[in-house]
């Protein structure tokens, strides 16, 4: 009975929609935008349930950083990182910037704002006026900002 009522209402809605004038500015992209908004909002529920506090996340990051082995601080890396902090959304995190010995040209982020730049990336970026390092470090800071590491740790 309910199914028949739903079908009748859908059919009536379709008839009413065809009787009116059409607006060429309205298309399926608005439905797609609504759907993506719905999915984003649904994801927020899971993120809130699995969220760590900033203090817990920084504690986990410190423990993981100790396991990385020797790393050093570098004034150049710290200056580049500090210049990017104004763009972060997470003000409760104390970001730390370090250099780690590696032949890979990359940067790494740990939970709680621990950002590591490899010596290879640092050497390359000094030759290229820091633009590459800025982009890689900014991406790693963004990674910390969306809490991807913290979410995967808290959900197991």
How many C-beta atoms lie closer than 10 Å to residue 89's C-beta? 10
Query: How confident is residue 131, by pLDDT bands cut at 50, 70 and 90?
Result: low
41: in domain: no
Does any domain span residue 28?
no
2 occurs within a structural domain: no
Chain center to CA of 49: 17
Residue 104 falls inside a structural domain: yes
143 found inside a domain: yes
Residues in contact with 21: Cβ distance below 8 Å, sequence separation at least 6, in sequence order: none
Q: Exposure of 66 by Cβ count < 10 A (0-12 exposed, 13-18 middle, 19+ buried)?
A: exposed
Helix H or strand E encompassing 109 = strand 107-110
Residue-range definition of the domain harbouring residue 129: 54-155
pLDDT at 86 over 60: yes
| Residue 109 belongs to domain with CATH number | 3.30.2010
Q: How many domains does the chain have?
A: 1
Weakest-pLDDT range from 38-47, 56-65, 69-78, 104-113 = 38-47
Sheet holding 107-110, edge to edge: 71-72, 96-100, 114-118, 107-110
Confirm whether 29 is domain-assigned. Answer: no
Least confident of 7-16, 21-30, 72-81: 21-30
Tokens representing residue 53 in the block: 């506090």
The residue-averaged pLDDT of 7-16 equals 87
In sequence order, the 6+-apart residues with CB closer than 8 A to the CB of 18 are none
With a cut of 50, say whether residue 34 has pLDDT above it.
Answer: yes
Position 106 in a domain: yes
Q: How far from 91 is each of 107, 108, 112, 113, 129, CA to CA, in Å? A: 21, 20, 11, 10, 28
Whether pLDDT at 156 is above 50? no
The least confident of 11-20, 43-52, 86-95, 141-150 is 141-150
12, part of any domain: no
């Amino acid at each position: 009975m309910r199914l028949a009522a739903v079908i009748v209402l859908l059919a009536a809605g379709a008839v009413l929609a065809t009787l009116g004038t059409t607006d060429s500015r309205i298309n399926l992209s608005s439905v797609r935008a609504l759907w993506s908004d719905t999915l984003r909002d649904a994801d927020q529920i899971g993120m809130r349930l699995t969220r760590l506090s900033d203090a817990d996340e920084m504690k986990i990051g410190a423990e993981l950083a100790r396991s990385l082995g020797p790393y050093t601080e570098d004034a150049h890396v710290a200056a580049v990182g500090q210049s990017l902090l104004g763009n972060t959304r997470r003000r409760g995190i104390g970001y730390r910037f370090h250099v780690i010995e590696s032949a890979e040209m990359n940067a790494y982020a740990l939970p709680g704002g621990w950002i590591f730049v490899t010596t290879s990336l640092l050497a390359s970026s000094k030759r290229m006026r820091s633009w590459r390092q800025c982009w890689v470090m900014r991406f790693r800071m963004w990674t910390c900002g969306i809490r991807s590491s913290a979410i995967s740790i808290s959900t197991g």
